């Protein structure tokens, strides 16, 4: 196919198929858009099928790496926290305060330094995944975007099994969980470098074909000013500030002179809502963000201690626990190709919310009954499968609903909002989970353990290794299992109650026809 370069009057030859390879049917980039949008549009106009295949393969490899990292770390984390006698504490402040009290100030300071490095580590990986998640959206039309996202998510089917086994090997064979973190300092630069080189080569190719205006590329000061003005920086401050002002009263109200009736508490809630509303203006964006935040809050309410439950109560190994917990990745890897192809054919997404949200809620409630001692693990896997069917689909629908509501130049912004919403929800869920666990598990242990085991109750409470040290079928192990069942039931019930809000949020989303949008 030959496209006309209107700026220079040259014929530009490209093998790209407009409907499949790019979201735009125009012969030239949108020169009124921001510099980054112009650049990616120029690149998609200049490359062919081989270039697109290379891009998606590189993105796939990065997601594969991240899948290994997530799966390995999920298996290792309970043992990492147990090494600090903090298995039941997932907040940094809680871990640090316990270490400083029990082990000394020097050890507490060292742990705080480690926590700081974990912050940068998390920011780095989150940034990598966010960046590569935007690329499939840049190079596909909206109706094909779900299939592209399904493709980039498919590596998790592999890492669900390989990553879990690797985590067990690090604990059993290598006997050093630190290599589970350190290995990625070598792996990540190698895997990501090839994508960087590919993008740079394609950028140079677009420049040679005259698709990038030289005068536009040189106006860096103007570009950064436009970025600031058109909501990137103000949007960040509005969202972060509004969210902070809105959430603070829930912590401060208890200490306020008149509780919730205190004037500044009421003012903070109102200001927070108003500021957030200024940033979140589209109904579909709001609805999708709220569903994502609700889902992540609910998920982290009940999933934080799931691996420990499977090992202590169901007597599974680290790898086997990882396999069960990775049911979601395996099911979604297969199901999303089918669902996204169905979306491509029908063009509609909203009706799937009406199917998947009830399925997820029902099976999450069913899990309350089965996540107890003396229940066959097969029933838990069954619930995980049905939860995965519902959850994996509406997570993908959230992305498509957001992208359908905005133009191409705002794709990166709404995807960033997706990740922020999920991260905030996950933080809230972890806080709720930790609160429930610390207020139920310890008291249940004290109630269930025999008198001669009570002196060791804090060791059992604080260490997964100590819990697993008691033989299967022993009186102490049965007491620990009963305490797990007591705490898990309440965490799941809370998760179900929170997720019921999704029944409201899904009605906010417009019934977009994705087949009619580029």
More confident residue, 54 or 410: 54
- How far, in Å, CA of 378 to CA of 226, rounded? 56
Angle (CA) 366-370-374 rounded to 5° is: 170
Q: How far apart are the C-alpha atoms of 62 and 223, rounded to whole Å?
A: 29
The answer, yes or no, to whether residue 106 has pLDDT greater than 50, is no
> What's the pTM value of the predicted model, to 2 decimals?
0.68
Sign, CA dihedral 230-234-239-240, equals positive
Class of domain 49-230+280-516: mainly alpha
Residue with tokens 């619930």: 383
Burial of 338 (0-12, 13-18, 19+ CB in 10 A): exposed
Q: Is the pLDDT of residue 440 over 80?
A: yes
Strands 2-5 and 10-13, bridge-based pairing:
antiparallel
User: Between the ranges 73-77, 88-92, 226-230, where is the mean pLDDT highest?
Assistant: 73-77
Q: Would you state the pLDDT for residue 231?
A: 46
Residue 301's pLDDT band (boundaries 50, 70, 90)? confident
For the chain, the structural domain boundaries read 49-230+280-516, 237-279
Beta carbons of 376 and 515 less than 8 angstroms apart: no
**Could you tell me if 404 and 284 are in contact, meaning their C-beta atoms sit under 8 angstroms apart?**
yes
Confidence of residue 104 (pLDDT cuts 50, 70, 90): very low
Which secondary-structure segment (H or E) carries 365?
A: helix 350-370
- Provide CB contacts within 8 A for 229, sequence distance 6+: none
What's CA 278's distance to the chain center, in Å? 25
Q: Are 491 and 300 in contact (CB under 8 A)?
A: no
Residue 337, token pair as written in the block? 């190709």
pLDDT digits (tens, 9 = 90+) for 380-428: 999 999 998 888 888 888 777 777 766 656 666 677 777 778 877 887 8
Q: Write the pLDDT tens digit of every residue in 168-208.
A: 777 777 677 777 777 777 888 888 888 888 878 877 777 77
More confident residue, 169 or 234: 169
CA distance to 246, 297, 299, 395, 493, per residue, from 499 (Å): 20, 8, 9, 13, 10
CA gap 165, 144 in Å, rounded: 34
């Amino acid at each position: 196919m030959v496209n006309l370069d209107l700026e220079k009057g040259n014929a530009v030859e490209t093998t790209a198929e407009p409907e499949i390879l790019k979201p735009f049917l125009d012969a030239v980039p949108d020169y009124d858009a921001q510099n980054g949008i112009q650049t990616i549009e120029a690149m998609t106009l200049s490359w062919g099928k081989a270039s697109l295949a290379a891009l998606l393969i590189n993105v796939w490899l990065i997601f594969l790496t991240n899948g290994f990292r997530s799966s390995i770390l999920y298996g290792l984390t309970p043992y990492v926290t147990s090494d600090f006698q903090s298995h039941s504490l997932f907040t940094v402040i809680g871990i640090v305060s316990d270490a400083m009290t029990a082990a000394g100030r020097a050890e507490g300071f060292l742990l705080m330094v480690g926590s700081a490095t974990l912050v940068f580590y998390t920011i780095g990986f989150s940034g990598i995944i966010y960046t590569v998640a935007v690329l499939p959206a840049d190079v596909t039309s909206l109706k094909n975007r779900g299939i592209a996202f399904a493709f980039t998510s498919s590596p998790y089917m592999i890492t669900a099994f390989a990553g879990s086994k690797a985590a067990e090997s690090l604990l059993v064979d290598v006997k050093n969980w630190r290599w589970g973190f350190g290995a990625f300092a070598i792996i990540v630069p190698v895997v990501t470098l090839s994508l960087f080189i590919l993008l740079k080569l394609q950028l140079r190719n677009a420049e040679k074909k005259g698709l990038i205006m030289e005068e536009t590329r040189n106006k860096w000061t103007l570009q950064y000013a436009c970025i600031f003005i058109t909501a990137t920086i103000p949007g960040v401050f509005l969202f972060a500030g509004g969210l902070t002002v809105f959430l603070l009263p829930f912590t401060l109200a208890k200490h306020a002179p008149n509780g919730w009736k205190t004037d500044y508490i009421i003012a903070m809630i109102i200001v927070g809502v108003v500021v957030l509303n200024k940033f979140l203006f589209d109904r579909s964006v709001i609805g999708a963000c709220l569903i994502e935040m609700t889902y992540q809050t609910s998920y982290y309410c009940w999933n934080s201690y799931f691996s420990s439950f499977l090992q202590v109560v169901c007597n599974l190994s680290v790898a086997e626990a990882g396999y069960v917990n990775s049911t979601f990745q395996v099911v979604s890897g297969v199901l999303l190709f089918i669902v996204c192809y169905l979306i491509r054919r029908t063009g509609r997404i909203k009706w799937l919310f009406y199917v998947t949200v009830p399925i997820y809620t029902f099976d999450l409630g069913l899990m309350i009954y089965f996540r107890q001692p003396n229940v066959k693990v097969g029933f838990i896997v069954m619930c995980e499968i049905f939860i995965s069917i519902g959850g994996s689909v509406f997570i993908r629908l959230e992305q498509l609903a957001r992208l359908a509501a905005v133009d191409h130049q705002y794709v990166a912004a709404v995807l960033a909002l997706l990740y922020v919403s999920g991260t905030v929800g996950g933080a809230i869920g972890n806080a709720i989970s930790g609160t429930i666990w610390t207020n139920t598990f310890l008291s249940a242990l004290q109630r269930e353990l025999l008198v001669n085991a009570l002196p060791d109750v804090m060791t059992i409470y604080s260490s997964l290794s100590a819990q697993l040290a008691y033989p299967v079928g022993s009186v102490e192990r049965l007491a620990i299992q009963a305490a797990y069942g007591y705490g898990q039931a309440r965490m799941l019930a809370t998760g179900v109650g929170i997720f019921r809000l999704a029944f409201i949020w899904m009605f906010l989303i417009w019934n977009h026809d994705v087949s009619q949008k580029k």
